[in-house]
Amino acid sequence: MEIILKQLKFRKNLIEIFKEKIVKNKKLKSFLAVNILFAIDFFSFFLTLSLVSLSYDVLHLFFPKNFSIEHPFFLFKEFWWMFLIILIFMFYEGLYLKRLPFWEETKRIIKGLLFSIIFAAAIVTILNIPSKTPTLTIFLFLAYSTIVFPIFRTVGKKIMYKTSIGRDNIIIIGAGKAGIQTAKALMNESNLGYNVVGFLDDDLSKIGKKIEIDGKKYKVFGRINSFNKFINILDISTVVVAIPSLKKDKLINLTNNVHKFSRKIIFVPDLQGMALLNIEFNSLFSEQLFLMELNNNLKSVYNQFLKRTFDIVISILLLPILLPIIGIIGILIKLDSKGGIFYKHTRVGQNGRLIEVYKFRSMYIDSKERLENLLKSDEKIRKEWETYFKLKNDPRITRVGKFLRKTSLDELPQIFNVLKGEMSLVGPRPVIKDEIEKYYKEFRDYYYLVKPGITGLWQVSGRSDTDYTFRVKIDTWYVLNWSLWLDIIVLLKTIKVVLKGEGAY
């Protein structure tokens, strides 16, 4: 028994030594990380083929004459070369060597998969290679892979980072507002794999103390000029410079000096509010300058057509699901209180045009009178109304209305506004004219550029828990940074927010 315990202890020690060597050896960690990502993608590829096979099995049950049973190993035998093409495009998109936020990585994965299939189809056509692969197989593969690859990559990375493989220690130079905000952002974006170790700052009152961010404490180790010492002690691979207020000459000297000792520098400039998602950089080497080209995507006729087409296609696909739900909700509203099922309200649309927005009725029919009496009699309620243009405990709302608002189902009828061309699936929330004059003011032109949406960045960024100033800023940011991919992200995030009931009332 004693011999067995000694052997187990010896094996445990070997595992611990192996782990320690992995953690300390940066090259080994990077090598393992790339190979693990490769293995995850290979598993995703085979799982996708298995789902395609399963789909054929299901179709064979209902249409035995039209669809044959496809075994995943037979599909792999026929499609193995496809993984090599996917691998090449994944490398080209930087998916094995770059650290990317979740949504950017997902976009590149989908892009890589799409171009892989197009490239493979082109090769087969140009070389006139005989193929027995049905078109349905290609469509099923693309549909499943765009879901399977991002999910398993995210899960695999989380497991990988917990074992310190692929995880990168970073220190932030600057413990001010920008530094704290940067730390918070990097911690929330776990897909990047950054581990914030602490800060450096020249403010003597901060040195040696800890800064609490989202329940975790991070130490301010020392002054900025001691970065070399802490880079070595704390095993830092990446340094973040987050002092936007630093003068140009000092900032240049700091970044150049830090660059000598760290593998990578992340520079955080003060560019909040700018259209960064649509920005393009061009270098002028002769003058050592770079140009920032900002594109207003919503001014493009092609992009407006693309956005409108996306709205119509998605709305039509959703109608078979939404119509029965709309019918059931209509019956519940009728049983709960007097009045109509739907409620129309005049709102401001694109270019300042007035539109009638549809919603399920969630209030009593005398709601206007109830509100006026409340605002006159209760100062606290009046201030809440002026700040948020909403009341958290609104006595005007019916029992069914509370549920509809909590789940945002009261806005389902706006799908008809989208089909009519008055609204979009994603955009600023439709507002009344008084709100434009009182809150949007000089930002009204941004609101007028795009159709109001059923959902938007405001709804997935805190919704009713944020004040109106934030709402105006986020609507402006959406217009400046619009892209079709941004609309897709907002729609997917809306599902999560609605299911959780975050910030809605």
User: Region 132-146: what's the mean pLDDT?
Assistant: 82
15: confidence class by pLDDT, cuts 50, 70, 90:
very low
Of the chain, the percentage scoring pLDDT greater than 70 comes to: 86
Q: What 3-state DSSP class applies to 51?
A: helix
Average pLDDT over residues 378-406: 76
Count other Cβ atoms within 10 Å, centred on residue 150: 21
Greatest alpha-carbon span in the chain: 85
Question: Do residues 410 and 418 make contact, with C-beta atoms less than 8 angstroms apart?
Answer: no
**Gap between the Cα atoms of 128 and 250, Å rounded:** 62
77 vs 218, higher pLDDT: 218
- Nearest Cα to 359, choosing from 399, 417, 311? 417
- For the residues 428-456, what does the mean pLDDT come to? 89
Is 80 exceeded by the pLDDT of residue 365? Answer: no
Q: Tokens 């940011």 map to which residue?
A: 477
What is the structure's pLDDT at 17?
47
Nearest to 484 by CA among 275, 226, 223, 305: 305
| Confidence band for 130, pLDDT divided at 50, 70 and 90 | low
3-state SS, residue 224: helix
pLDDT of residue 74: 75
Of the listed ranges 71-75, 117-121, 253-257, 270-274, the least confidently predicted one is 270-274
Residues in the chain: 505
CA distance 439 to 471: 9
Q: At 27, which helix (H) or strand (E)?
A: helix 26-62
Q: Is residue 49 within 8 Å of residue 75, measured between CB atoms?
A: yes
Q: Which residues contact 29 (CB under 8 A, 6 or more apart)?
A: 22, 23, 164, 165, 166, 167
**pLDDT value at 127 more than 80:** no
pLDDT of 356 over the 90 cut: yes
pLDDT (average), residues 46-57: 88
Q: What is the pTM of this model?
A: 0.78
Confidence band of 7 (pLDDT split at 50, 70, 90) = low
Consecutive H or E run containing 124:
helix 102-126
Helix (H, G, I), strand (E, B) or coil at 338: coil
Compute how many other C-beta atoms are within 10 angstroms of the C-beta atom of residue 1. 5
Model confidence band, residue 315 (pLDDT cutoffs 50, 70, 90) = very high
Tens of pLDDT, residues 177-234: 888 988 998 888 889 889 999 999 988 888 888 998 888 899 999 888 888 888 888 8
How far is 412 from 333, CA to CA, in rounded Å?
Answer: 14
Residue pLDDT, tens place only, 52-69: 888 888 888 888 877 776
Q: Tell me the pLDDT tens digit for each residue of 270-282.
A: 766 666 666 777 7
Highest mean pLDDT among 70-84, 269-283, 291-305, 481-495: 481-495
Beta strands in 295-433 (DSSP E): 342-348, 354-360, 424-426
pLDDT band at 309 (very low <50, low <70, confident <90, very high): very high
Domains of the chain: residue spans and CATH? 12-162 (no CATH), 168-270 (3.40.50.720), 301-362+397-500 (no CATH)
Is 90 exceeded by the pLDDT of residue 81?
no
237 token code pair: 């691979």
Q: Which residue has the higher pLDDT, 74 or 190?
A: 190
Q: Of 261-265, 313-317, 341-345, 483-487, which range is least confident?
A: 261-265
Most confident by average pLDDT, 5-19, 172-186, 305-319: 305-319
Burial degree of 205 (CB within 10 A; 0-12, 13-18, 19+)? exposed
Q: What's the rounded Cα separation, in Å, for the pair 402 and 363?
A: 9
**Residues facing 355 on adjacent strands:** 347
The chain-wide mean pLDDT, for the chain, equals: 83
Residues near 170 by Cβ (< 8 Å), separated by ≥ 6?
186, 194, 195, 196, 197, 236, 237, 238, 239, 240, 266
Q: Provide the pLDDT for residue 148.
A: 95
pLDDT at residue 491, as a whole number? 92
